[in-house]
Structure 1
Amino acid sequence: MAVGTAHPRRAARLGWKRLQALKGASLTIPFFLGFALFTVVPLFMALRESLYREQSSGLGFGAKTVEFVGLDNFTEGFSDGRFWGAMGRVALFAAIAIPLIQLAGVGLALLLDAASQRTANRFRIPLLVPYMIPGIVAVLVWIYIYSPAVGPLTPFLAAFGIDADFYSGELIWVSIGNLVAWSSIGFNMLIVYSALRAVPTEIYDAARIDGASEWRIAWSVKVPMVRRSLVLTTVLSIIGTLQIFSDPMLFRSMTPETVTRDFTPIMAIYDWAFAQGEFNYAAALSVILAVVVGTASALFYRLTNKAPTS
């Protein structure tokens, strides 16, 4: 009898676990719906539009018709000097800014982890406040701070004999980079700090017993233990930096001679679509940019997210 009743109990247990798994999976439905609606569908629409081009009959004065041109838009895009020049500028900016932002985020996370719980709770929220401020608001605030006419930063530096124009070609990327770091470091810090809090304290105690200093524990134990979190935040930074748009676009309103209309790849795409009316060509450039961003993220993930060899 006991053997006979074991199967219904096991089946009921498996059914309950399956029900719990389905309940957990149902929480991801809003994300996947939003991802499909705002990412997958626009991508397929862009692919479709990129295969067409608006043509004018006669000498350009006739009616315009949309014709299928195959991969002509992509061929033109791969040889577009404006677009790839913008890509090079952003890639160089990412190569410098992302490591610095990651170092700052990891450093703050290690400091919070080394502090007492009460001290960490006191500083954790203020460090995250810049990330919680809407991006457009943050850009407008920093544009005011950088302004040589009404901002407080230029006269403050002038008191020390420093003549700095944060809208100039020499400092514009520094200005944008400071804004990106100001809004990103807190987010990266929180992700890494959460990963550090999940590490069993017994590992640190064993390292201390072996005679490791706190610096050695931080570098050789804590940082390797949060490697996956570092990979995640770096991939997100690569995606965000290569697609930077709102920050330089608002800076352009203050210094159009420095921040040109093709300053970043997204700005070049925006100009082709809404200033020149070349929506099909802009769609092709969007697909090219998506491929570049996806390839860069995938390569970084593949190179860094490998299990350490013993």
Structure 2
Amino acid sequence: MTATTRLANPESPSGSVSSVKSFNTAKPIQGAPERKPRYRSTPAPYLFVAPFVLLFVVFMLAPMVVAIYQSFFTVKRSGLGFTGGRQTLFAGISNYLTAFHDHEFMTSFLRVLMFGVIQVPIMIGLSLVFALLIDSTLVKFKKTAQIIVFLPYSVPVVVAAIMWGFLYQPGVSPIVKGLKSIGVTVSFLSPQTVLWSVGNVTTWCWVGVNMVIIFAGLQSIPQDIYEAARIDGAGEFRIAWSIKIPMVMPSLMLTVLFSIIGTIQLFNEPSVLQSITGNVTAKYTPAMAVVNVTSQQNNQNLGAAMAVITALITLVLSLIVSAIQQAAAKKEARS
């Protein structure tokens, strides 16, 4: 066994006590099984995770599987819809070929990609500016400023689109009338500007939540870094450019990823404006094209193929953004 003893040193004139180091005299017993720690399994973690897993399977995984399955079939009807039957046939990739040959559907992807290239940087840039201002010493009433910027996000997107649609209509819009009174004629719903009118609604709705994500990242930066920078003579702009923005880059990339996914899935804003202007067609965005083919044209199989194509393009863009983020993180780690 292990023991530690303290012995009186007889050679010491003061009779001091010397310490003897620990030593181990225990010998392992041959053939004795090793004792392993026992872990009691409890159902508590599974009970906490179960609601999320159930909702994910029912509302996300199952519809995806059903959509992929339906995209490989087609329905043929006979008898002019009166006495004929309805037959489901395996179609292979014919639905996908039909979707790729649909000019309006493919044009909708180019439209939302152009929308994302311009609108997403503007929205993320505004969110970053607001987050930096609130985090700086320039803004005194920080909580009030956060509420003001975040408040549009609390308004449902459909309600926001209806409100902005009222402000876009030439006959009743105070903005259009005010600009016309000073000699500026503008049409927010023309074929050239309606897409950017949609972008204005989207930016107004989502700047606040992106600002909160970036601001949360700023709050995780140690204050000692700021104090050291101020001692070295750095101002607020220099601190923001050299310290805050590089250290909050993961939060920025997260908002960019969410914004790209939302851009491909753009639906509510143009759908509301469709009832106001004829310049927003039924297949103005990929999501609107899927709904139109599925509900208006009553072709669930073709709509499922379009939905799968939309999901795959969203996945590819998300992977590209993630790869860029990982490459930047590795480059920063090496430097």
State the AA in 1 paired with 2:244.
K
- TM superposition shift of 1:304: 1.9
**Which of residues 61, 66, 76 is equivalent to 1:45?**
66
Letter in 1 for 2:195: W
* 1:71 Cα deviation from its structure 2 partner: 1.7
Change in Cα spacing, 1:214 to 1:27, as seen in structure 2 (3 Å) is farther
- Cα offset for 1:227? 1.0
Give yes or no for contact 2:72–2:90 (8 Å, CA) kept in 1.
yes
Q: Does the alignment pair 1:184 with 2:184?
A: no
Contact kept? 2:76, 2:86, Cα under 8 Å? yes
Pairwise CA distance, 1:58: 7.8
- Residue 26 of structure 2 corresponds to none
Pairing of 1:187-206 with structure 2 (within 5 A): 187-206=209-228
Are residues 1:225 and 2:235 paired?
no
1:194 match: secondary structure: helix
In 1, the alpha carbon distance for the partners of 2:50 and 2:139 equals: 35
Partners of 2:47 and 2:128 in 1: how far apart?
33
- For 1:270 and 1:87, the matched residues in 2 are separated by 15
Matched AA of 1:84: M
- Report the residue type matching 1:177 in the other structure: G
Opposite residue 60 of structure 2, the aligned amino acid is T
* 1:150 corresponds to which of 147, 172, 179: 172
Structure 1 counterpart SS, 2:88: strand
CA distance in 1, matches of 2:56, 2:156: 21
For residues 32 and 212 of structure 1, what CA distance do their matches in structure 2 show? 49
How far, CA to CA, are the matches of 2:70 and 2:232 in structure 1? 63
Match of 1:271 among 289, 292, 297: 292
**CA RMSD, aligned part only?**
2.6
**SS of structure 2 residue aligned to 1:66:** strand
Residue 303 of structure 1, aligned match among 324, 329, 332: 324
Among residues 259, 269, 275, which one is paired with 1:253 in the alignment?
A: 275
Call closer, same or farther: CA 1:128–1:29 in 2, change over 3 Å. Answer: farther
Tell me the matched-pair count.
Answer: 298
Give the superposition deviation at 1:119: 1.4
- The residue type paired with residue 126 of structure 1 is I
CA contact (8 A) 2:133 2:139 kept: no
| Whole-angstrom distance in 2 between the partners of 1:297 and 1:102 | 16
In structure 2, give the amino acid aligned to 1:89.
Answer: R
Distance 2:2 2:299 in 1: 75
Question: Is there any run of 5+ residues in structure 2 with no aligned partner, and where?
Answer: 4-36
Which SS does the other structure have where 1:30 is aligned? helix
- Candidates 169, 178, 181, aligned match of 2:191: 169
Q: Which has the higher helix share?
A: 1
**Alpha-carbon distance in structure 1 between the residues aligned to 2:47 and 2:2:** 36
Q: 1:68 aligns with which of 90, 105, 117?
A: 90
Of 105, 119, 127, the match for 1:83: 105
Q: Which amino acid aligns with 1:164?
A: V
- Higher RCO, 1 or 2 (CA under 8 Å, sep at least 6)? 1
The alignment's TM-score, normalised by the length of structure 2, stands at 0.82
Residue of 121, 124, 130 corresponding to 1:102: 124
Unaligned runs of 5+ residues in structure 1 are 4-10
Seq. identity, %: 35
Q: How much has 1:208 moved relative to structure 2?
A: 2.4
Counterpart residue number, 1:284: 305
Determine the C-alpha separation between the residues in 2 that align with 1:125 and 1:110. Answer: 15
Indicate the SS of the match to 2:192. Answer: coil
Q: Which of 315, 323, 327 matches 1:294?
A: 315
**Per-residue deviation, 1:269:** 1.2
Structure 1 range deviating more: 210-219 or 283-292 = 210-219
1:305 counterpart SS class: helix
Q: 1:288 to 1:183 in 2, by over 3 A?
A: same
- Measured after TM superposition, the shift of residue 112 of structure 1 is 0.2
Contact 2:168 2:176 in 1 (8 A): yes
TM-score of the superposed pair, with normalisation by structure 1: 0.88
Instruction: Quote how far apart the aligned CAs of 1:171 are.
Output: 1.3
SS at match of 2:141: helix
The 1:59–1:127 alpha-carbon spacing in structure 2 relative to 1, beyond 3 Å, is: closer
Q: CA contact under 8 A between 2:168 and 2:189: conserved in structure 1?
A: yes
User: Counterparts of 1:30 and 1:182 in 2: how far apart (Å)?
Assistant: 33
Q: CA deviation at 1:31?
A: 3.2
* Deviation per residue, 1:142-178 (Å, 9 max, x gap): 1111111222111011111111111111210121111
Q: Deviations over 1:48-91 (max 9, x none)?
A: 11111011348998433111112211122233222110100010
- Say whether 1:125 aligns with 2:150: no
Give the stretch that moved more between structures: 200-209 or 90-99.
Answer: 200-209
Q: Paired residue for 1:8?
A: none
* Alpha carbons of structure 1 residues 71 and 104: separation in structure 2 relative to 1, 3 Å: same
Structure 2 distance, partners of 1:139, 1:82, is 23
